[in-house]
Amino acid sequence: MGVNTDGRREVLGVATGPSEAETFWKGFLRSLADRGLRGVKLVISDNHKGLRVAASRVFHAAMQRCRVHWMRNVLAHVPAKQRPGVIAMIKTIFAQETA
């Protein structure tokens, strides 16, 4: 998925591979570049090392951790009884209009 200049999400491509290794991601991202994808500044994903390396090499793009995966990792370190409060606090952080 990508976000165009109008702020709308678009499907950029779909592929399957044997793993999420750098080799797969590099080939997939190069296929997008070969079809004309330019100006990629930020890639948001889970924390797959292969994708991080491939995005950096193909597009020289910055990486940002997906909010859902980040939240799952945070909550794995929070006792179950405290999770609702932690979730509420984190949601207010993400809801702020300015930094």
**Residues 25-47: pLDDT tens digits?**
999 999 999 999 999 999 998 87
| Same domain, yes or no: 72 and 93 | yes
**Domain span holding position 76:** 67-99
**Residue 62: in which H helix or E strand, if any?**
strand 62-65
Q: Are residues 86 and 73 in the same domain?
A: yes
Contact 54, 22 (CB under 8 A): yes
> For position 46, what pLDDT does the model report?
85
Whole-structure pTM value: 0.75
Q: Which residue has the tokens 């991202």?
A: 29
Provide the mean pLDDT of the chain.
92
Q: Which two tokens stand for residue 20?
A: 């999420």
| 36-92: pLDDT as tens digits | 999 999 999 887 889 999 999 999 999 998 889 899 999 999 999 999 999 999 999
> 61 with 72, same domain?
no
> For the chain, what is the domain count?
2
Residues 60 and 19 occupy one common structural domain: yes
In terms of C-beta density within 10 A (0-12 exposed, 13-18 middle, 19 or more buried), how is residue 4 classed? exposed
**What single-letter amino acid sits at 3?**
V
Pair (60, 74) in one structural domain: no
58 and 73 inside one domain: no
Supply 68's token pair. 């859902």
Shared domain check, 61 and 83: no
Residues 21 and 49 in one domain: yes
pLDDT at 20 over 90: no
Is the pLDDT assigned to residue 14 strictly greater than 80?
A: yes
